[in-house]
Structure 1
Amino acid sequence: MQIEEDNPPRTIQDEMFGGLRSRRKIMFPVNQTLQQVITDEWQEPEKRITVPKEIRNRLAFATEDVRLYRETPKVDIQIAKVAKKTLLPFEDTSQLSDPMDKKIDGLMKKAWEATSLTIEANIASTSVARSMTLWLNRLEASIKDRAPREELASCLPLLKMATAFLADASAETVRYGAKTGVLSNSARRALWLKTWAADITSKNKLCAIPFQGEYMFGPVLDKILEKVGDKSKTLPDRQPFRKPSFPKRTRQPPPEVKGKGKTGRWSYPKGGRGAGKRKDGN
């Protein structure tokens, strides 16, 4: 691969104590083309992943063999009954009431689809790679047995086809992994924006902005806030919270009951206890 390793000059101290340090390993270079494949998927986080026709034709599997991880898991009936009260708890009738919860669920479904493509590409790749190991062992044995040149040359087209398949399938795996990661990040965006007091359109737009790494939203969010004229760079509320004002309560004397002790509901019956004294003092 022509990986250049930097070998600085060693001093006597390096030779004396160099063995105490961890051994440095040759590292794989990250090609700029592969970097571009990843960042291209990050530009449109919520876009459904596409598989090139030539790759789809070569990633051929029997439906019954890949149904386990190709189909998105359905909601269990027990959970569906909790999500929505219905007479008959079918999975199709369950709906999440909060719009952001629905968005998170949709993003995670897309992430599952990208993950299933990664699994299929890896299964095909490891099958071809292990087959190549057997073919190369047979080729080596043929060379040792001094097989005819024509027989040895006949093995090359098959090896070239296998190598080309591994090159394409592994590159697609990088793209599927990038899509899975960016969809998971968009789901995290929706989770953190759920409590933001804003309209659902603004939340959806922020979830779909390009991803640049390091932060969930990153510099794109700063530019959006600058456009709305927010120097503090904080998310504006649709309806700012204001402390409600209530009129001051003043104590008022209880209403006077007319005729208390004489007539009305609070007076004693005529001639009963509490009636006025008689003129004779009894």
Structure 2
Amino acid sequence: MMQTLEIKDETAIEAEWAQPERRIALTQRFFKTYPVPEEHQKKWDKAPKVDSAVARLSRQTAIPAEEAAFKDPLDRRMESILKRSYTQAAAILRPAVASAGLARTARHWALELARHPPASKQQLQLEVDKLSTTLSFLAESTLEITRLAAKATSNAVVARRALWLRYWTGDTASKMRLLSLKFTGESLFGPDLKQIISD
């Protein structure tokens, strides 16, 4: 049984939770580091479109338009957050798939190295360097997974906040301010809510 591990990269999680409305920019470097086949890109890189039949039911019009489906600003924000949440959660798949494949390969290399140790010290050093490079990539990709997962959880928090504020009669600006409060992981709105309420 594995022991509970100390979380060393908690600052990456806290940084994403501190600004739950902030978007993560997936850079060209990200896409080059974690390439996937085109059929996966189509499914992972964009949130799925609403089926036209459902969009028509929602809008009561003949011409469905996703962007115009919601009249309430909070509903539009919730839709936007949920679409962003999908793409950011799906982005986790890229480094996760790359890491899983590379980890299996590194395990194979290590087993082969143990079974058939190189005759020369120089060849051993080359094998160790190869494993070290692999471990460096795995360390970076797991940190990327952590950051993206933290952002996905903060998106879920913002969507839940919007749901809970939906029927509150407060003005839109106040609702949007509450959506963007820092998330601390314990309660939906956190300690900053008490300060805002007391103001």
Asked if these proteins are the same fold (TM beyond 0.5), I'd say: yes
User: For each residue in 1:133-181, what CA deviation from the matched residue of structure 2 results, as whole angstroms up to 9, or x when unmatched?
Assistant: 11112212221xx623222222122211110000000011111111111
**Correspondence for 1:241:** none
Q: How high is the TM-score relative to the length of structure 2?
A: 0.91
> How big is the shift at 1:192?
0.8
* The one of 32, 35, 42 aligned to 1:60: 35
Larger Rg: 1
2:7 corresponds to which letter in structure 1? V
Matched, 1:29 2:3: no
**Correspondence for 2:163:** 191
Matched, 1:125 2:99: yes
**Correspondence for 2:121:** 149
Instruction: For 1:1-282, list aligned pairs within 5 A.
Output: 26-31=3-8, 34-51=9-26, 54-89=29-64, 91-92=65-66, 94-143=68-117, 147-227=119-199
> How big is the shift at 1:67?
1.9
Contact 1:115 1:176 in 2 (8 A): yes
Give secondary structure in 2 for the equivalent of 1:204: helix
RMSD (Å) for aligned C-alpha atoms: 1.9
Structure 1: gaps of 5 or more residues: 1-23, 228-282
Q: Percent identity?
A: 28
User: For each residue in 1:100-145, what CA deviation from the matched residue of structure 2 results, as whole angstroms up to 9, or x when unmatched?
Assistant: 11111111111112101111110011011011011112212221xx
Higher relative contact order (CA 8 A, sep 6+): 2
Cα distance in 1 between the residues matched to 2:32 and 2:57: 42
Structure 2: gaps of 5 or more residues: none
> How big is the shift at 1:87?
2.9
User: For each residue in 1:79-114, what CA deviation from the matched residue of structure 2 results, as whole angstroms up to 9, or x when unmatched?
Assistant: 11012132334x547511222111111111111121
Cα distance in 2 between the residues matched to 1:25 and 1:69: 32
Q: How high is the TM-score relative to the length of structure 1?
A: 0.66
> Which structure shows the higher helix fraction?
2
Cα distance in 2 between the residues matched to 1:148 and 1:221: 65
Give secondary structure in 1 for the equivalent of 2:167: coil
